[in-house]
Chains A and B, each alone.
Chain A
Amino acid sequence: MRISTPAKLSLRTVVVGYLAVLLLVPLGLVFYRTFQHGFGVAWGWMTTPAAISALSLTLVIAAIAVPLNTIFGIICAHVLVRGRVRGRAILDALIDLPFVVSPIIVGLALILVYGEGGWFGNWFLAHGIRIIYAPAGMVIATVFVSLPFVVREVAPVLREAGEEQEEAAATLGASWWQTFRRVTMPSIRWGVAYGVVLTSARALGEIGAVLVVSSNVAGSTLTLPLLVYQRDSQIGPEAVSGAYAAATELIVISLAVLLVMTLLGQRREQVR
């Protein structure tokens, strides 16, 4: 297309303007609201016992859910691409379910299965294990919502890499583990890395599913996103400041994630 300069400029302005209104202005305002009473006040809100415990719980949940989904994701991608099992097409379709199911439904589903009176809930409670309204349930909810990312990033890379090198390694006497570590892993590592970043972003920020299965008690079952929700629902300007402070922490974390994402994306393009 030959586009005249004015048309090009106006398209550019529309696009950049749309993004600015949708993305940048809101974020800037949250920063402003956080720091409008000075840095010390904001720091005070970020270091209340509830806020510190929320930050650490958020990180702990992500630290459990992300490795689980990474290992599952690599195995599952392997089965999808290399496997000759029946039902592969169904598995392939089901993997995407967590992308399209509402997080609230995830929470409800977990209550119905693992909660009191649920399918497995009574058995767990009889053995003294509380899942719903406890961190365990929050971990399961996080695993659910962030499950497909690694699979979806690794599967296409694995398909592109082909089987020949792995077969060659096997013929030359490499064990299964050696083949995986020396041949498969180097070719899929950027896919895995990208998937891990996406999984972490989702795991750190999940609210809907976690909200339903959390008991929402500050200091024990509040994550940072839940803290934002709870503080904003409370009445009074002080509580709202707490919400903005927690939101700023989350924004900083997600900007870091975004940076890693962009760098990895560029790295991946170069490798191709």
Chain B
Amino acid sequence: MLYLSIFVLIPLAAVVVKAFAQGPSTFFDAITNSVALNALGVTLGASLVVAAISAVMGTLVAWVLVRDRFPGQRLVNALIDLPFALPTIVAGLTLVALYGPDSPFGLSLAYTRAGVLLALLFVTLPFVVRSVQPVLIDLNPEAEECAASLGASNWTTFRRIVFPSIRQSIVSGAALSFARGVGEFGAIVLLAGKVQIASIVIFADIESDAPQAAASISVVLLLISLIILVLLRVLGNRHAH
């Protein structure tokens, strides 16, 4: 507990104290000016889109990895964890190399919102896959076959049989993706450019010696993180029962 306090709790408390050090009105000014509001809006919007795409694609990837058999599958399965193993700054650099000013495909997504979305999709790829996959493995294929033999279409089978059992793990994977998206820095710092993302605005505030403004935006992000943490815990408990 002491270890946790020294490294985690006391520093986070210091952020909250700093944000309100000059009274609540300074705090509200710091988070309601146009730069901060815009940054928070873009960040939350981008994270929502990323969580949604991740949920769909992640479920698809998990399904193919569990129910399909093809050569090279184990390699694909191992690759899923690459974004966890790869330093985020390298992820950012690779995307700059791909879509930056001298892109080999003539695409120029860097310094745009699409570039930021791609970077976030990259770093959040494993969350949904790795949370849905084990549930799919445990899921009995007999129920699916049963539904099919009773004349249910594939879509009906998925919607009525498969989806209800994996819904919770999709949601918790997507929630983790969302949390990661809101706070991500390394992968987008090189290619965000003029797109104002909350973590980059905080960094700029720290660099320009405005810790109160940085702390205020941080408090908003911390609040979002806490809400997601609580949501995940509630989901986890329901799962256990």
Interface residues of A (CB under 8 A from B): 1-3, 7-8, 11-12, 14-16, 18-19, 22-27, 29-30, 33, 72, 76, 87, 91, 93-114, 118-119, 140, 143-144, 147, 198, 201, 204-208, 211-212, 224-225, 228-229, 232-233, 243-244, 247, 250-251, 254-255, 257-259, 261-262
Contact = CB atoms under 8 A, between A and B. Distances in A.
Contact of B60 (A3, A14, A94, A112): A14
21 contacts: A19-B80, A26-B91, A87-B1, A97-B229, A100-B226, A101-B221, A103-B185, A103-B199, A105-B12, A105-B221, A109-B11, A109-B12, A112-B215, A113-B10, A114-B11, A147-B7, A206-B87, A229-B89, A244-B97, A247-B93, A254-B87
Contact of B154 (A2, A208, A250): A2
Main SS of the interface on chain A?
Answer: helix
B93 A244 contact: yes
Contacts of A96: 229, 232
Nearest to A254: B85
Given A104-B185, A108-B214, A262 B78 contact: yes
Secondary structure type dominating chain B contacts: helix
Interface in B110-163: 118, 121-122, 125, 144-145, 147-148, 154, 157-158, 162
Interface residues of B, number: 84
Given A102-B198, A102-B199, A205-B90, 14 more contacts: A1-B67, A1-B147, A12-B68, A16-B76, A23-B122, A91-B4, A93-B229, A98-B8, A100-B180, A105-B202, A108-B15, A118-B14, A208-B186, A228-B93
B32 interface: no
Contact of A101 (B64, B147, B162, B225): B225
Contact of B10 (A72, A102, A119): A119
Contact of A112 (B4, B11, B90, B228): B11
A232 B93 contact: yes
B218 interface: yes
Contacts of A198: 84
Contacts of B232: 96
Nearest to B91: A26
B162 A1 contact: yes
A181 B68 CA distance: 42
B93 A205 contact: no
A204 B25 CA distance: 40
A25 B183 contact: no
Contacts of A224: 87
